[in-house]
Amino acid sequence: MRRVALAISLIASPLPAAEDSPFAAYQAELASAPPPEWVNEGLRLTYETHEGLTQADLVALTEKYSVFQIRKFARMRPEDPLTLSYTYGAVGFAGFGSEYWVEPQLLRKIAEDLSKGDACKVTRGPYARGGESRQAIRFEIGRQGTWIYEESTGLLLHLSRSAVTPFGVMPVLRLEFVRRRERDLPWKMGRPPDWLFKLTRYIYRGEQIQRVPGTPGASIPLSAYSVVKEKGENWILYEQTTKTEGPWPAPDSPAVTYTSGPTQVGGLWLPPLGIKDLRRGQLLDEDPDTRTRLTVAHVGATDYGRKVVTLAEEGPGQRLMMDYEIETGILLIATIIYPNAGQTIQTRFAGKE
C-alpha cells in the first residue's frame, strides 16, 4: 500500500530538472505531478555505473516531494570487492524523482511536445538490456546526454551525460537500470520521535583509525556537525561538516547534504516503536546486487549504560554497525569498517541543540 505523508514545511529548493536536460522547460508541470503508482516509501532503485553501482533509496514520499538517500559503490581495481564509497541525500518532486522517474502521462506529453522541435531528438521503441525488452521513450540532446524512460511506468532505464572539453567530449555520468525493489523494513511505517522536530543541530565525535600491517596504526580525532535545513512529517534534511583534530588538523571537509527518514539505514534516527520488538540475529534485508546483509546484531544493555538495537550491514567491502537507543530512536554510535583498507571510522553522539 502506498504511504504518502503530508509535508510539515515546504522544501525551499527541491532538485529540479537540470538546465541541460530535456525537462528543463517543464518545471511547473513536474512540480505539480503526482508520483507514479509504483513509487512507495522503501523503494530501492539500483543502477550500474562506470565505477560500480548507484542505489537510490526513497527515504520519504510526500504529496509534493520525494526524498532520497543515494549510495555509491565502487571498485578501485577490477579484482577489488564492491565497496560503499559515498553517500548523500537529495530531494526531488513527487512526480519527478530526481530524474529516476517521470510521471508517465507527463512523460508522454513532454515527449510529444519536444518531438515538434529540433533541440531534442525524441524516439520511441523497444529498449533491450539483460535479456529483457521494454517499450521506451528516448531523449537525446546533441552530445550533452541521453535519457531513456520506460513509457508505461516513467522509470529511468538509462542516463548518460557528457561534457565538451578542450580534449574532446568526455563522459561524466552513466546510469544503467539494474533492479527495482521494495525493502520491507520492520520500522518503515513507524512514527518519528517527538524530539526530532525540536532539534536544529547534532554533534558527533569520534576517530578515524588507520591500520597498516607491521605498524601500530594511527588515530585521528574528528567531529561531525549536522545542521538541519528542512523538515517533513517523517524526515529531515541536514548538512554535515566534518572536522579533524589533533596536532595536524586538516581543513574542514565540504558540507555534504544528507537525509534521514524511516526507510533507510544509517540515518540519525529510527522510529522507537518500530525497533523495540526487533530480535537479535533477525535478518532484515539482503541486497542481491551489492550482496549486503542487514541484520540485528544486539538488543539490550550496553557497556556505556544505554539500551540499544545494534544494526549491522555487512558487504564484501565494508561493515557498518549502528547503535539506536530503543527509548528515543536516536543514533548513538556509528561505525564503518573497511577491512581491505585497514580503516575504521567511529563517531558517538555528543550533543544536540
pLDDT digits (tens, 9 = 90+) for 291-348: 999 999 999 999 999 999 999 999 999 999 999 999 999 999 999 999 988 889 999 9
pLDDT digits (tens, 9 = 90+) for 21-35: 899 889 999 999 999
Q: What angle do CA 194, 196, 200 make, to 5 degrees?
A: 135
pLDDT digits (tens, 9 = 90+) for 138-196: 999 987 899 999 999 999 999 998 877 777 777 778 999 999 999 999 998 888 888 88
- Give the chain's mean pLDDT: 88
pLDDT digits (tens, 9 = 90+) for 184-218: 999 988 888 888 888 899 999 999 888 766 666 78
Q: How many CA atoms lie within 13 A of 212 on its CB side?
A: 4
174, β-bridge pairs: 160
pLDDT digits (tens, 9 = 90+) for 72-111: 999 988 888 999 999 999 989 999 998 999 999 999 999 9
**Rounded alpha-carbon distances, angstroms, from residue 284 to 87, 129, 143, 300, 334:** 21, 30, 43, 18, 18
Question: What does the pLDDT read at residue 266?
Answer: 87
Question: What does the pLDDT read at residue 7?
Answer: 31
Question: What does the pLDDT read at residue 197?
Answer: 85
Q: How far apart are the first and last CA of the chain?
A: 36
pLDDT digits (tens, 9 = 90+) for 216-228: 678 889 899 999 9
For residue 104, give the 3-state DSSP assignment.
Answer: helix
Q: Could you give phi then psi for residue 108, rounded to 5 degrees?
A: -65, -35
For residue 272, give the 3-state DSSP assignment.
Answer: helix
Q: How far apart are CA 274 and CA 192, in angstroms?
A: 9
pTM: 0.89
Question: What does the pLDDT read at residue 8?
Answer: 30
Band (11; pLDDT cuts 50, 70, 90): very low
> Strand 256-260's sheet: what is its strand order?
256-260, 236-244, 218-231, 201-210, 343-352, 331-338, 319-325, 307-314, 293-301, 283-286
Q: How far apart are CA 32 and CA 237, in angstroms?
A: 21
Q: Is the pLDDT of residue 13 over 90?
A: no
Question: What does the pLDDT read at residue 2?
Answer: 38
Of 251, 260, 256, nearest to 230 (Cα)?
260
For the chain, how big is the Rg over CA atoms in Å?
A: 21
**Rounded alpha-carbon distances, angstroms, from residue 29 to 35, 90, 110:** 12, 20, 10
